[in-house]
């Protein structure tokens, strides 16, 4: 009787896992019936241009979706497609002190994203995503820029992932 009970439990666990795996990820996102992903080139239209930002952003967005979903990358028409442009890359002073100097500077990146879901067009959107990171005014931008850009892109790609697949 124990052997039969073990078999039944294993079958139930297997069926439960198989039922949960269809289109969902552990991050809470659902790709539905989508199988493929295309991320287009995001030209940098910001007033201040970081020459590597377009490529960095596109790669970060691809990585986010490939790591957190079951989608496969496509260079042609795909079930889910992202296009857009980088619209802002700016440094602004923050925390002005008594001597009218900034204690902190803020790097802000804004990306306009057009999302097309060819499986469910009701989920299409075009939206702007913006995030920032602060750094001490005693540091030069060039010494902290790579780290700040990585932090900001991680946040922006998470926001895009959530908007596209988690529907927040």
| Amino acid 102: pLDDT | 74
| Amino acid 54: pLDDT | 97
Euclidean distance between the first and the last CA atom of the chain, given in angstroms as a whole number: 48
Asked if the model's pLDDT at residue 7 lies above 70, the reply is no
Output the pTM of the full model.
0.80
Name the domain count of the chain. 1
| Greater model confidence, 16 or 82 | 82
Asked if the model's pLDDT at residue 11 lies above 50, the reply is yes
Q: Which CATH number fits the domain that encloses residue 132?
A: 3.30.160.150
> Between β-strands 102-117 and 125-136, what pairing exists: parallel, antiparallel or unpaired?
antiparallel
| Greater model confidence, 47 or 167 | 47
Asked if the model's pLDDT at residue 14 lies above 90, the reply is no
The whole-angstrom separation of Cα 127 and Cα 160 is 9
Asked if the model's pLDDT at residue 129 lies above 50, the reply is yes
| Amino acid 9: pLDDT | 52
Expressed as residue numbers, the domain containing 38 is: 2-166
Asked if the model's pLDDT at residue 149 lies above 70, the reply is yes
Phi and psi torsions of 108, nearest 5°: -120, 135
How much is the average pLDDT of 115-119? 96
For the chain, give the percent of residues with pLDDT over 90: 71
| Amino acid 95: pLDDT | 74
How much is the average pLDDT of 20-46? 76
Identify any residues that bridge with 117 across adjacent strands, giving them in sequence order.
80
| Amino acid 23: pLDDT | 41
> Residue 122: how many CB atoms within 10 A of its CB?
6
Asked if the model's pLDDT at residue 26 lies above 60, the reply is no
- What is the full DSSP assignment across the chain? -HHHHHHHHHHHHHHHHHHHTSSB-TTS-B-TT--EEEE----B-SSS--TTHHHHHHHHHHHHHHHHSS-EE-SSS-SEEEEEEEEEEEEEEEEE-TTS-EEEEEEEEEEEEEEEESS-GGG-EEEEEEEEEEEETTS-HHHHHHHHHHHHHHHHHHHHHIIIII--
How much is the average pLDDT of 132-144? 93
| Amino acid 25: pLDDT | 40
Residues 35, 72: contact at Cβ < 8 Å?
Answer: yes
């Amino acid at each position: 009787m124990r052997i039969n009970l073990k078999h039944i439990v294993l079958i139930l666990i297997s069926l439960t896992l198989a039922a949960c795996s269809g289109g969902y990820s552990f991050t809470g996102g659902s790709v539905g019936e989508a199988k493929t992903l295309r991320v287009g080139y995001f030209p940098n239209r910001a007033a201040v241009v970081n020459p590597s930002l377009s490529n960095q952003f596109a790669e970060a967005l691809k990585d986010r979706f490939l790591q957190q979903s079951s989608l496969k990358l496509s260079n042609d028409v795909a079930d889910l497609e992202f296009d857009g442009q980088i619209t802002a890359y700016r440094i602004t002073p923050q925390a002005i002190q008594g001597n009218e100097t900034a204690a902190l500077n803020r790097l802000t990146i804004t990306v306009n994203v057009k999302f097309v879901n060819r499986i469910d067009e009701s989920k299409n959107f075009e939206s702007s995503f913006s995030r920032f990171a602060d750094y001490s005014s005693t540091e030069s931008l060039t010494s902290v820029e790579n780290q700040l850009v990585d932090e900001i892109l991680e946040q922006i790609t998470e926001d895009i992932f959530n908007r596209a697949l988690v529907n927040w």
